[in-house]
Amino acid sequence: MYDTNSEKGKVVEEMKKTYEKDRQLVGRYEFYNLLEKCLIEVELNEKDKKKMQDLNLEATLIKEIKGLAMLLSRFKPADWNKFLDVVIK
């Protein structure tokens, strides 16, 4: 995932670039909170829905994050469990 020569490594690098670009447009904490709400599928208010659509988050980041999470849980279950421990705490 961190090897920029691999397919998934390229995806991660592209996601980082997209994240930084969108974060600068929206604001650091506001963007983080919006992304978090989208990932855990919290009901969004109209303002957040508009931002999500304007930034095209579903196509650019949400889909890719969920895909990478699925691969991590499937192929590196120990790493997935560590990740969940951090997220839950």
pLDDT tens track for 54-88: 999 988 888 888 888 888 888 888 887 777 776 65
The verdict on residue 36 lying in a domain is yes
Taking alpha carbons only, the member of 25, 12, 62 closest to residue 41 is 62
Q: Extract the tokens encoding 57.
A: 């988050």
In this predicted model, what pLDDT tens digit does every residue of 40-55 receive, in sequence order? 888 999 999 999 999 9
Query: What is the extent of the structural domain holding 52?
Result: 7-88
Distance (Å, whole) CA 69 – CA 50: 26
The verdict on residue 2 lying in a domain is no
Sequence-ordered list of residues with C-beta below 8 angstroms from that of 39, at least 6 positions apart, any chain? 62, 65, 66
pTM: 0.74
In this predicted model, what pLDDT tens digit does every residue of 2-33 receive, in sequence order? 788 888 888 888 888 999 999 999 998 999 89
Q: How many domains does the chain have?
A: 1
Report CA torsion sign: 89, 86, 31, 25.
Answer: positive
